Structure 1
Amino acid sequence: MERRTFLNIGGMALGSMMLPVAGRVIAAEELVKPVDNKLRKALADTAMTAATQAGASYCDVRIGRYLNQFITTRDMTVQNVVNTESAGVGIRVVAGGAYGFAATNDMTPDSVANAARQAVAIAKANARLQSEPVRLAPVKGVGEVSWATPIKKDWRLVPIKEKADMLLAANKAGMDGGANFMQSMLFQVNQQKYFASTDGSYIDQDIHRLWLPLSATAVDRGTGKFRTRQGLSAPVGMGYEYLDAKPHNKIKAAGGVATLYNGAYDVVEDARAAGMHAKQKLTAKSVEPGKYDLVLSPEHMWLTIHESVGHPTELDRVLGYEANYAGTSFATLDKWQSKNFKYGSPIVNIEADKVRQGSLGAVGYDDEGVKTKSWDVIKDGVLVSYQATRDQAHVLGLEESQGCSFADSWSSVQFQRMPNISLKAGTKKLTPDEMIKDVKKGIYIVGAGSFSIDQQRYNFQFGGQLFYEIKDGKIAGMLEDVAYQSNTQEFWNACSAICDQSDWRMDGSFFDGKGQPSQVSMVSHGSSTSRFNGINVINTARKIG
C-alpha cells in the first residue's frame, strides 16, 4: 500500500468510509497474476550496469509489486470493495560518497537505465554539499534467494462475498450485543519485493499482512452520550488463516472480562463483546484521579512500547535526523555510552527483531539486502543498543547492519524504520489473575486508546479501551474516563512484575508514519501482561482548574 492510502485511512479512520485508492484499480482475479523473475533480474542488471558505468560505486535496485484489497462496511451495508496494484522500480546509488535515488513505473530496459543514470546524477549533485561520505557496513552477497511469509491460506483466493459476509455477521453480532452503530474493515496486503545489489544479491520476497479493525458505538438516546469500543484484533504477518479462529487460540483476560486472541481471531465473537462493552461504558463509574498500580494487557502494552521504547531507540531520531518532523529522543548516545543508563527496572528486557513468525515486521531480508535477526535493546533494565541500518552501523561500532532498512513503496527511498520491539516475558510462573491478587488499589487496562507523547518521547499520556477497577486483589467493576501519565524512565522503572511466556502475545501498528515525504510501515510489539506501581491516573472527563 502506498503512503497516501495509509495516511488517509490511518488512525483507524473508521469515521470516514470513503476509502481513497493509490495505484491502479484492478479486478480481483489479477491479484494472483504471477511475476516473471527472469524479467526482474534482467531489469536489475540493466539498472546496475547503467549506474556503475555512470560512476556509481554502489547500486541497489528494488522492483516492487504492491497488491491490496480493502473491504469496508457500516452496520449491514458493504460500503466499498477495492483491489489495487502499484508496480515499479526504485534505484539507489552511492556516487562521490553521497546517495542518489530515482524511480520509474515504466519497466522497460531503457526507462530503468535512464532512472539509474538519473540517480547517479542526483548523487553527484548531493556530493557537493555533503560534509562526510556515506559509510556502508559490509554485506556479503547471497546470490539468488527467496523468502515468503509462511501462510496456510492465501487471502487472494478467498471469495470477496465470503469476506463481506463475515464482516456483516460481525456487525450484526455487535448490534445484537448492544451497539447502535458498527463499522468493520478488512485490510489485506501482498508485497512482492525483488531486491538486487552490486554486492551480488538477488532476493525475491513475497510478504503477506492483514488486519481486521472494527468499532462498536453505543448511544444513550436520552442524553446524547455515546461510548465506543474498538476491536481487539492484532494486525498480523499471516495468511487468511488468522480469521479461522479455533477455541484453543482464545485467551480469557484477567477476571474473564474479555476474550483475547493469539494466533487466530474470531471477529464475530469480538464484535458481539464490543457491542456489549460499549453499552456498559455508558453507565460505568468515572475514575477517581490518583496513584494506582496498573495491570496492562498486551493488547494495551503494544502502543506504550511503540511510543516510549520503539521510537526513542530509532538511531536516526537519536542523531537528530528526524527533528524537523517527528522529533528527537531523550535516549541520547551518551546514555548508551555510559553502559549503565537505567531505562527500566531490572526485570525489563526488550528485544528488537525482524524474524518472529506471524509478526508484521518479519521478513527474510531488509530493503538493503541485509539478513534479518534479533538483538537486545534493553537488558536487565539498561539501554544497550538502538536500531541501525548499513550507513548507521559505524556510529554504534557495529561491523554489520541490524537490518532496519525499509521503504513503503518502490517509489520511496529506503531508510531506517522500526523493527518489532517487544518486552520479554517474565521468567517466573505468573498469570494475570495471580498478578491482580497482589494489587490493593489498581486499574486493569485492556486495549489501546488515544495517546500523547512529547517530541523527545519522554513525557506521555495513554488511554485504553476497557478499564476495570482492582480492589484488594479482585476486579471490582468497569471504570471510564481513565488515562495515565508518566515519563518513560519513571514508568519503566515502576515495572514490578511481568507474566510468564504463556501470556505473551503480539499486537501492533499497521500505520506507523515517519519521514519526509512521509512513509508508513507495519510493526508488531509483543509482551505479557505487566504491572506498573504507583502511576498517576487522571480523569479525562473532568475540567482542569
Structure 2
Amino acid sequence: MRRRDFMALGGIGLGSLLLPGGIGRAIAAEELVSTLDPAVKKRLADVGLQAARDGGAGYCDVRIGRYLRQYVMTRETQVENVVNEESTGVGIRVLADGAWGFAATNALDPDSVAAAARQAVGIAKANARIQATPVQLAPVAGVGEVAWRTPIARNGMAVPVEDKVALLLDVNAAAIAAGADFVGSRLFLVNEQKYFASTDGSYIDQDVHRIWAPFTVTAIDKVSGKFRTRDGLSAPMGLGYEYLTPDPAQRFDLPGGVVAYGRAYDMREDAVAAARQAREKLRAPSVQPGRYDLVLDPSNLFLTIHENVGHPLELDRVLGYEANYAGTSFATLDKRDAGYRWGSEIVNFVADKTQPGSLGAVGYDDEGVRCKQWDLVKDGILVDYQATRDQAHLLGKAESDGCSYADAWSSVQFQRMPNVSLSPGRSPLTVREMIAGVERGLYIHGRGSYSIDQQRYNAQFGGQLYYEIRDGEIAGMVEDAAYQIRTPEFWNACSAICDARDYRLGGSFFDGKGQPGQASAVSHGAATARFDGINVINTARSL
C-alpha cells in the first residue's frame, strides 16, 4: 500500500493493515487501559534468552509486544465505525554463526517462547550457510531493568468512547454550520506496550502513546457542480488526549487568517476555518504558472523533509537494500566523504528520537539502544546518515544511532527513519517579516498530493491552501498549484528560516517500508521557511 492511500480509506479494515501492529483481535474499550505485568514479561524473556543460548546463539533479543489501537470514524451526523483492537505476542531475533534468525509466537507461555527461540536459531544457522559476510554488531552496554513512558497527561484510551464521538460530531456540526456540505472526522489512538530483553543485559519496558485527529471538509458549488476540500492542518503527535484540549498558548495566528497549533489542537476551530476556506477555494482563481518565491508553512514543509531528506538518508536505502521496493538514494556514501553541499548555509537537519511530543520519541529503540540526537546536514553540508547496530561499521561508527524499529511483535526490527527536522533560524524572524520581503510568491499550508522519483531527487508537492504574495502582502487565495523541485537545488534555494518561536511539528502517522511491509510513525519539525525562484505549475485540467 502507498502512504498516500491512507487518507482516502473509507473503511477501517484496510486501515488496520496500515497501522503499527497489524490486524489484532477485537476487544472491549475497557481493556485498552490494561497492561501486562513486567515481572511476567521478564520471566518469559529469560526463557527465550536461555533457549537461544542453549541452541548456540551468540546474541539474542526478545521483544514482548502488546499493540492497542482505537479508531473512531464519523461523517456528518453519523458514526461510521468504532474499533478497539489488541495484538499481543513475542518476537525473538538471534545471531548465530554470523547470521540473523527470527521467529515469533502469539502464545505467552514458556514452552512456546522457548520453541520460537529454537526456531530462530535454526533459521540463523541455515542463513549462515549461504551468507558470505558475517553480521557485525556495534556494542551496546546492558542497562538492566529500566522503564520509559510517553509523557502524557491523559491516556486517550481511558476517555469514554461516548466523549470521543461527541467531540467528532460537534466538530462535524460546526463545519456544516460554517458552510461545509460534507465532513468526515476521525480519531486514531495507538498504544504500544513494548518490552525488550537481550543477552547484553537489558530489560526495557516502554509504554508509547500516539494520537491523530484528521478530518476532511468538502464544499460544493451546486450550480456548477464544482467542489473543493480542505483537510485538517493538525499533526499527529506523540501525546495523550490532552492534545485535543485547546490551549491559547499553543495557538499560532498566521498571515492570511490561517490558524496553526502546537502541542494542543482546537479541532473544532480548525474545522470551522476549513469550511470557510473550502468555500473560498471555490472562488479562488487558478494560479499562473512560473517562478515564485515560496513561503512554506511547517504543515506543508514536513512532507518535503520526509521524502527528500529523511528517506534518502536511510542507510539501507543508500546501500541499495530497498531498491526492489522503495528505491535507492542519490545521496551515496561518496557524497558524504566529499563534503556534499545539500543546502544553503542556514540549512541544518537533525535526526532525533527524543523530542517530547513527537511521533518517533522513545527512550530506547528496538535493539535496546538509548535514543539520541545527531546531525545529518550541518551548515548545508551532508555529514551523516541513519544507522542501526549491524550498519554502524559501514559508516566507521562505533555505535548505533538507535533507529531500529519493528511495527509489531511478529515483525523483525530494521532501520527506520527517526524524527528528521529542519533547525529553526538563528536570527529573530517572524512569518510576517518573511512575507514582507517577498515581491512575488506563494504562501503554502498543508499536505497535498505529491510525486517523487525512486532516488528522491526529483519531486513535486502540492498543498491545502495557497496564498499569493505581491510586494510583501498577502494578495488573496489561489488554487491548483504544485511546486517542482530537485532536492539539492531546492534546499540550496532556502534563503530564510523563521526562528524557534514558529517551530512546529508535522508528521506521518504511518510510513511504509520493507518487504513484508511495515508501518512506522515519524515527526518532522520546522519553522516557516523561504525558498527563492521555485518552479510552480498549474495542476488544473484547464485554465
TM-score computed with the length of structure 2 as normaliser:
0.97
Q: Which residue of 1 aligns with 2:238?
A: 237
Amino acid at match of 1:463: G
Rounded to whole Å, the distance in 2 between the matches of 1:324 and 1:20 is 24
1:327 and 2:327 are equivalent in the alignment: yes
What residue number does 2:415 align with?
Answer: 416
Q: Which amino acid aligns with 2:351?
A: A
Amino acid at match of 2:536: V
Query: Which 10-residue stretch deviates more, 444-453 or 534-543?
Result: 534-543
Q: Superposed, which structure 2 residues align to 1:184-223 within 5 Å?
A: 184-223=185-224
Tell me the residue number matched to 1:58.
59
Cα separation, 2, equivalents of 1:394 and 1:214:
44
- Which runs of 5 or more structure 2 residues have no equivalent in the other structure? 17-22
Match for residue 100 of structure 2?
Answer: 99
Task: Quote the residue 1:283 is aligned against.
Answer: 283
Q: Distance in 1 between matches of 2:361 and 2:108?
A: 28
- Deviation string, structure 1 residues 367-402 (Cα, Å, up to 9, x no partner): 000000000000000000000000000011111000
Deviation at 1:14, TM superposition (A): 4.7
> Does 2:142 match 1:141?
yes
**For the structure 1 residues 408 and 494, does the alpha-carbon distance in structure 2 shift closer, same or farther, using more than 3 Å as the test?**
same
Aligned to 2:533: 534
Q: What residue number does 1:392 align with?
A: 391
**Deviation of 1:312 (Å):** 0.2
Deviation at 1:537, TM superposition (A): 0.2
User: CA offset at residue 59 of structure 1?
Assistant: 0.2
Q: Distance in 2 between matches of 1:406 and 1:448?
A: 25
State the shift of 1:221 in Å: 1.5
Q: CA, structure 1 residues 8+293, in 2 after alignment: closer, same or farther (shift >3 Å)?
A: closer
For each residue in 1:451-509, what CA deviation from the matched residue of structure 2 results, as whole angstroms up to 9, or x when unmatched? 00000000000000000000000000000000000100010000000000000010100
| Cα 1:492/1:9, change in 2 over 3 Å | closer
Aligned to 1:13: 8
Relative to structure 1, the CA distance from residue 147 to residue 10 in structure 2 (aligned partners, 3 Å threshold; closer, same or farther) is: farther
Cα distance in 2 for partners of 1:443, 1:352 equals: 29
Residues 352 and 420, structure 1, Cα contact 8 Å, conserved in 2? yes
> Which residue of structure 2 aligns with residue 444 of structure 1?
443
How many residue pairs get aligned? The number is: 537
Query: Residues 369 and 402 of structure 2 are in contact (CA less than 8 Å); yes or no, is this contact kept in structure 1?
Result: yes
- Superimposed CA distance per residue, residues 71-118 of structure 1 (whole angstroms, 9 cap, x where no aligned partner): 000111111111110000000000110000000001111111000000
Partner of 2:19: none
One-letter amino acid of the structure 2 residue matched with residue 337 of structure 1: D
- Determine what percentage of the aligned residue pairs are the same residue: 64
Displacement of 1:8 after TM fit? 9.7
CA distance in 2, matches of 1:492, 1:301: 11
2:397 equivalent to 1:402: no
Q: How does 1:146-545 map to 2 (within 5 A)?
A: 146-255=147-256, 257-338=257-338, 340-542=339-541
For 2:8, what is the secondary structure of its paired residue? coil
Query: What is the one-letter code of the residue matched to 1:361?
Result: G
Deviations along 1:239-292, one digit per CA (max 9) or x if unpaired, are 10000011121101224x211001100010001111111111111010000000
Letter in 2 for 1:331: A
Tell me if structure 1 keeps the 8 A contact 2:103–2:117.
yes
Task: State the shift of 1:19 in Å.
Answer: 6.1
Q: Deviations over 1:282-303 (max 9, x none)?
A: 1101000000000000111100
Letter in 1 for 2:275: G
* Inter-partner Cα distance in structure 1 for 2:410 and 2:456: 30
Report the RMSD for the aligned CA atoms in angstroms: 1.3
Query: Would the aligned equivalents of 1:19 and 1:80 in 2 still touch at CA under 8 Å?
Result: no
SS in 2 for 1:12: helix
Q: Which residue of 1 aligns with 2:78?
A: 77
TM-fit CA distance, 1:34: 2.5
Equivalent-residue separation in structure 2 for 1:498 and 1:37 (angstroms): 46
Deviation, structure 1 residue 15: 4.2
| Alpha-carbon contact 1:47-1:91 (below 8 Å) kept | yes
Are 1:9 and 1:19, in contact at CA under 8 Å, matched by a contact in 2? Answer: no
Residues of 2 paired with 1:287 and 1:129: CA distance?
57
SS of structure 1 residue aligned to 2:121: helix
How much does 1:11 deviate? 2.3
Task: Give the direction of change, closer, same or farther, for the CA distance of 1:211–1:30 in structure 2 (3 Å limit).
Answer: same
Mark the CA change 1:278 to 1:17 in structure 2 (over 3 Å): closer, same or farther: farther
Q: After the TM superposition, list the runs of 4 or more consecutive aligned residues in structure 1 that deviate by more than 6 angstroms.
A: none
Contact 1:318/1:333 (<8 A) preserved: yes
Paired with 2:480 and 2:229, the residues of 1 have a C-alpha distance of 12
- Indicate the larger mover: 8-17 or 26-35: 8-17
Normalising by structure 1, what TM-score?
Answer: 0.97
Task: Output the CA distance in 2 between the equivalents of 1:409 and 1:208.
Answer: 15
Asked if the contact 2:3–2:510 (Cα under 8 Å) also holds between the matched residues in 1, the reply is no
Alignment check: 8 A CA contact 1:8 1:20 kept: no
Q: Distance in 2 between matches of 1:34 and 1:97?
A: 36
Identify if the C-alpha distance between structure 1 residues 17 and 197 changes in structure 2 by more than 3 Å, giving closer, same or farther. closer
CA distance in 1, matches of 2:509, 2:317: 20
Amino acid at match of 1:405: S
Contact 1:351–1:378 (Cα < 8 Å) also in 2 = yes
